[in-house]
Structure 1
Amino acid sequence: MFFVASKVIFFCIQPSSLAFLALAAGLISLSLKRSKLAAFFLSAGLGIVVLFGFLPGGNILVLPLEQRFASHVPDVPHEKISGIILLGGFEDGAITASRGGLALNESAERLTETLRLARALPDAKVIFTGGSGSLLGGEGMGAQIGQFFIEAGLDPSRIVIENKSRTTYENAVFTKALVNPKSDDTWVLVTSAYHMPRSVGVFRKAGYNVVPYPVDFRTRGRRDAIRPFDSISAGLQRTDLAVKEWLGLLAYWVTGRSAPLFPGP
């Protein structure tokens, strides 16, 4: 229920949807000759498009998320590592199922950096966790990811696959049932930089001692807070992504799935 509700609510309130709804309401108001109401809705819709589609509003929202752990990226962790936990979200299960191979999206760095870490830490387990996060359903990626790691030269005995989870909370809980983390275990957590604060909060709450390893940065740093986007669609996409994470942090904190509101180093 939580999963379905979160997907439906966010679809309705994400900035790109709000811009569309405001513009649509403005046009309807115009057709009804409600000029003041039309002006309000059209101004609101256009304001969202300009602020977050062209101006760097999306970057301003995503920067605090990415910067939270940006200065804590180790080259290769030096302490004894029990395992490397790779969060899904870098794959397109529907395309893979239809076309074959392993279809990756813009978050593919999660996978490539995990492989690099796995080779640098030959005694560590490699855990992939992630099922379909689509409300309409989709294909799990466990078999394809496991085969990718084997073909890349990893020992199959090191690989642990969890492909039922649909949320970050389920990533932590379902994986815990497979690996049974001990208090003296240390786990490298690999996910996109903007997603790291929420992920760290959830995994710590579940009892993991994690070393954050953020990848897939979407900004170059604070200078992007003044850099406009070169396409409206890119700006709105960045904004939707950032707003989703901020709302996720709030929801996980309110429901007790993460102890602090904004987990940090």
Structure 2
Amino acid sequence: MPATLIGLAWLAFFIFRKWKFRKYLAILGFALFIIFTNDFLANWFLKAWQTEAANLESIKNQKFTYGVLLTGMTNTLKEPKDRVYFNQNADRILQAIMLHQQGIIDTLYISGGGATALRKDLQEARVISNYLESIQFPMDKVILEDQSRNTVESARFASAYISSQTEILLITSASHMPRALGCFKKEDFRVQPYPTVFLTNDEMINPSMFLPSDDALLKWNILFKEWMGYSAYWIAGYL
């Protein structure tokens, strides 16, 4: 990850005190810091990678039997367990609720496990289901898949519930959509993407975008994760 690369460059600068090219480690660390904290660059690269926002009017005219919502939006390890703790990806569930209320999707299919060897009760799909029930969402219009551990398994397990001949509306983060879309198409699903969680902005260039920013580091972290994930899936033949 970017912060790790910066840290390693500067750490090496202090460790290799007798190396005659030691000064280049300091220069490298500084250059990486400038690049990875530059919000203009982070915003540009993330916008180029993520899937563009769907045309809502066009989707309204289509109607979908299933909206497939991928999890990855809560902290299941936080106590107490009497509520749901959402993270920055909460836009996924908010958009899914809106799509159902507007009649664009009929049934919400929630996919995502995440349980560990020590905690079998941490399936995120069930955590989301509990939240929906608490806000009186019509639970007869919800299907849970709580065994998948990654996007590949989410796509594979979906075939047990949804016919590949049925066009689905896939709901996940815009940065994650290229990988998720590839996985579901690999399983022969007819997929209409509905990206959410846009961390980029469409404003014109302003001076603050060139100042060091932790937001830029966050965007680069997301990009690195998705680039590595997409590459690994492609090499493994999952896409």
TM bucket, shorter chain: 0.7 to 0.9
Q: State the number of aligned residues.
A: 237
Q: Which runs of 5+ in 1 are unaligned?
A: 1-13, 259-265
* Structure-1-length-normalised TM-score: 0.79
Alpha-carbon offset, residue 127 of structure 1: 1.0
1:79 corresponds to: 62
The residue that corresponds to 1:145 in the other structure is 128
Cα distance change of structure 1 residues 28 and 137 upon mapping to structure 2, 3 Å threshold? farther
Aligned with 1:58 (options 33, 38, 42): 42
Q: Is the 8 A contact 1:73 1:214 kept in 2?
A: no
How far residue 122 of structure 1 moved from its aligned partner, in angstroms, is 7.4
For 1:211-231, what per-residue CA distance to the aligned partner results, in whole angstroms no more than 9, with x for missing partners?
111111111237469862665
Q: State how far apart, in whole Å, the 2-side matches of 1:29 and 1:103 are.
A: 44
TM-score, normalised relative to structure 2:
0.87
1:188-244, Cα deviation, whole Å (9 max, x unpaired):
111111111111111111121111111111112374698626654322121011121
The correspondence of residues 2-41 of structure 1 with structure 2, limited to 5 A, is: 14-30=1-17, 33-36=18-21, 38-41=22-25
Determine the C-alpha separation between the residues in 2 that align with 1:222 and 1:198: 27
- Which aligned pairs between 1:195-214 and structure 2 lie closer than 5 A? 195-214=176-195
Query: The residue matched to 2:64 in structure 1 has which SS?
Result: coil
Cα offset, 1:125, TM superposition = 1.5
In structure 2, how many angstroms separate the alpha carbons of the residues matched to 1:230 and 1:135? Answer: 44
Structure 1's 114 and 60: CA in aligned 2 closer, same or farther, altered over 3 A?
same
Residues 150 and 107 of structure 1, relative CA distance in 2, 3 Å threshold: same
Q: CA-atom RMSD, angstroms?
A: 2.7
Gap change, CA 1:225 and 1:169, over 3 Å in 2: farther
Task: Judge conservation of contact 2:37–2:213 (CA < 8 Å) in 1.
Answer: yes
Q: State the SS of the aligned residue for 1:164.
A: coil
Q: Is the 8 A contact 2:99 2:105 kept in 1?
A: no
Report the secondary structure of 2:209's partner residue: coil
CA 1:188 to 1:21, structure 2 compared with 1: closer, same or farther past 3 Å?
Answer: same
Question: In 2, are the aligned partners of 1:73 and 1:212 still within 8 Å (CA)?
Answer: no
Identity between Structure 1 and Structure 2 (%): 24
CA gap 1:123/1:57 in 2 versus in 1, 3 angstroms: closer
Contiguous gaps of at least 5 residues in structure 2: none
